């Protein structure tokens, strides 16, 4: 698999290396072509010199622990932005009831997180994270499949599944990130963990907002389905850590 992947990568690299100078000749005036090729050579040299070191740092500090985190927080943010609109506009719930319906998700996380921490001491954190994100994906897809006459209890148990899944994922994954490097790099690990969380939440919230701008009825369904897909992708990525 590695040889195959590297072969495909080399084909792409060959295409870029061939097309790049040709594009420069097309878009750059003839009198400046030498300068443009010089800048291209500089960029190639900088990439070749910094790429391996940067990749090594990322893999050492985060491995797959951060990409999984981005997926999880993006899925959660997308759902939390979309669900109130679903409850109020599609199901006709009041603002007060909508707020109450959102409560099971964070409440279950509070209950599950300490339990997940104890499980992480006995089982592989990557497996626990994969199971948690799979539950989150299932809960989101179940929420997307809510019937038009869904009752409050029918809505609540779906969000309980989402909260359970996220709680089962969050503590083991954070533990993996914080212990992935030496103790003297704990500050860097914490910063990377915060960065992954903020990137995921920002991307998820932005994606949900864009979809809601297209119309609420179908946007909330699409956002929940997509959020479930992102959570499922995070579950698969977490399993890659077993390798």
Structural domain spans, the chain: 2-59, 63-240
**Rounded Cα gap, residues 91 and 219, in angstroms:** 14
Alpha carbon dihedral 36, 37, 41, 47, in 10-degree steps, equals 50
Q: 29-33, 91-95, 139-143, 214-218 — which one is most confidently predicted on average?
A: 139-143
Maximum Cα–Cα distance across the chain:
72
Per-residue confidence at 155, pLDDT binned at 50, 70, 90?
very high
Q: 0.85 cut: is pTM over it? A: no
Structure token pair of residue 9: 């990568």
Phi–psi pair at 150, nearest 5 degrees: -60, 135
| Average pLDDT over all residues of the chain | 83
3-state secondary structure 4-72: HHHHHHHHHHHHHHHHHHHHHHHHCCHHHHHHHHHHHHHHHHHHHHHHHHHHHHHHHHCCCCCHHHHHH
pLDDT score of 1: 80
Taking each continuous run of H as one helix and of E as one strand, the counts in the chain are 9, 0
Give the CATH class of 63-240.
mainly alpha
What tens digit of pLDDT does each residue of 187-201 get? 777 777 777 888 888
Per-residue confidence at 141, pLDDT binned at 50, 70, 90?
very high
Percent of the chain at pLDDT exceeding 70: 88
């Amino acid at each position: 698999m590695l040889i195959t992947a590297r072969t495909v990568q080399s084909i792409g690299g060959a295409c870029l290396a061939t097309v790049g100078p040709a594009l420069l000749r097309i878009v750059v005036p003839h009198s400046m072509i030498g300068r443009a090729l010089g800048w291209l050579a500089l960029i190639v040299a900088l990439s070749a010199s910094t790429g391996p070191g940067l990749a090594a740092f990322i893999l050492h500090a985060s491995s797959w622990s951060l990409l999984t985190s981005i997926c999880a927080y993006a899925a959660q943010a997308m759902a939390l932005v979309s669900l109130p609109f679903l409850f109020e506009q599609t199901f006709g719930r009041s603002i007060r009831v909508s707020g109450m319906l959102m409560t099971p998700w964070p409440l279950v996380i509070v209950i599950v997180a300490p339990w997940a921490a104890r499980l992480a001491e006995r089982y592989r954190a990557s497996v626990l994270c994969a199971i948690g994100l799979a539950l989150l994906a299932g809960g989101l897809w179940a929420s997307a499949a809510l019937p038009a006459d869904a009752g409050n209890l029918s809505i609540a148990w779906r969000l309980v599944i989402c909260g359970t899944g996220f709680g089962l994922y969050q503590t083991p994954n954070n533990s993996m990130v914080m212990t992935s490097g030496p103790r003297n790099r704990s500050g860097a690990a914490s910063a990377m963990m915060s960065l992954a969380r903020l990137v995921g939440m920002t991307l998820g919230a932005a994606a949900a907002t864009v979809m809601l701008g297209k119309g609420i009825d179908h946007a909330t369904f699409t956002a929940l389905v997509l959020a479930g897909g992102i959570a499922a992708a995070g579950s698969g990525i977490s399993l890659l850590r077993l390798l």
